[in-house]
Homo-oligomer: A and B are copies of this chain.
Amino acid sequence: MRFGVNYTPSAGWFHSWLDFDADAVRRDLADIAGLGVDHIRVFPLWPLIQPHRGLIRPRALADVAAVVDVAAEFGLAVNIDALQGHLSSFDFLPSWVLSWHRRNLFSNPEVVGAQADYIEALTAAVADRANLLGVTLGNEVNQFSSAHHPDRHPATRDHVDAWLTELTAAARRAGAPLVTQACYDATWYDDLEPFRPEHAARHGDLTVVHSWVFNGAAQAFGGLGEGSVRHGEYLLRLAAAWHDDPGRGLWLQEVGAPTNVVAEPDVAAFTEQTLRHAADVPGLWGVTWWCSHDVSRTLLDFPELEYSLGLFTNDHEPKPAAHALSRMIQQASGSAAPASAATPAGIPSSAASAGPPVLVLDDTDADTYRSRCGPGQDFHRDWLKLAVAHGTGPAVVLQSRLDDPSRPVRSRTGDLQRDTELLASTGGNRHV
The answer to whether A101 and B95 touch across the interface, beta carbons within 8 angstroms, is: no
Chain B residues positioned under 8 Å from A53 (CB to CB): 300-301
- Return A209 CB to nearest CB of chain B, in Å: 22
Interface size on A (CB < 8 Å)?
33
The answer to whether A13 and B150 touch across the interface, beta carbons within 8 angstroms, is: no
Contact of A89 among B92, B100, B300 (CB under 8 A): B100
Q: Which of A96-129 contact B (CB under 8 A)?
A: 96, 98-102
Q: How far is the CA of A92 from the CA of B15 in the complex (A)?
A: 16
- Return A189 CB to nearest CB of chain B, in Å: 19
A47 to B, closest residue via Cβ: B47
Binds B, one of A23-31, A55-63, A200-208, A415-423: A55-63
Tell yes or no: A334 within 8 A of B by CB: no
Q: How far is the CA of A12 from the CA of B57 in the complex (A)?
A: 10
Tell yes or no: A320 within 8 A of B by CB: no
Known: A55-B298, A101-B301, A301-B96. A18 touches B60 (CB 8 A): yes
The answer to whether A15 and B91 touch across the interface, beta carbons within 8 angstroms, is: no
A151 to B, closest residue via Cβ: B99
Tell yes or no: A52 within 8 A of B by CB: yes
A182-220 CB mask vs B (1 if < 8 Å, else 0) is 000000000000000000000000000000000000000
Tell yes or no: A19 within 8 A of B by CB: yes
A50 to B, closest residue via Cβ: B15
Best-buried of A89, A93, A96, A100 by chain B (most CB within 10 Å) = A100
The answer to whether B150 and A100 touch across the interface, beta carbons within 8 angstroms, is: yes
A303 to B, closest residue via Cβ: B100
- Return A50 CB to nearest CB of chain B, in Å: 10
Tell yes or no: A149 within 8 A of B by CB: yes
Chain B residues positioned under 8 Å from A13 (CB to CB): 52
Best-buried of A13, A48, A299, A301 by chain B (most CB within 10 Å) = A301
Chain B residues positioned under 8 Å from A376 (CB to CB): none
Chain B residues positioned under 8 Å from A102 (CB to CB): 150
The answer to whether A55 and B12 touch across the interface, beta carbons within 8 angstroms, is: yes
Chain B residues positioned under 8 Å from A405 (CB to CB): none
- Return A71 CB to nearest CB of chain B, in Å: 24
The answer to whether A19 and B301 touch across the interface, beta carbons within 8 angstroms, is: no
Tell yes or no: A51 within 8 A of B by CB: yes
Q: Which of A62-96 contact B (CB under 8 A)?
A: 89-93, 95-96
Q: How far is the CA of A96 from the CA of B14 in the complex (A)?
A: 13
The answer to whether A99 and B95 touch across the interface, beta carbons within 8 angstroms, is: no
Chain B residues positioned under 8 Å from A60 (CB to CB): 18
The answer to whether A52 and B101 touch across the interface, beta carbons within 8 angstroms, is: no
Tell yes or no: A54 within 8 A of B by CB: yes
A138-169 CB mask vs B (1 if < 8 Å, else 0) is 00000000000111000000000000000000
Give 17 A-B pairs besides A18-B18, A54-B298 with Cβ atoms closer than 8 angstroms.
A15-B57, A18-B60, A52-B301, A54-B299, A54-B300, A55-B299, A90-B95, A90-B96, A90-B101, A91-B98, A91-B99, A91-B100, A92-B95, A96-B300, A99-B149, A99-B151, A100-B150
9 intermolecular pairs with C-beta atoms under 8 Å apart: A15-B55, A18-B57, A54-B298, A54-B300, A55-B298, A89-B101, A90-B95, A91-B95, A92-B95
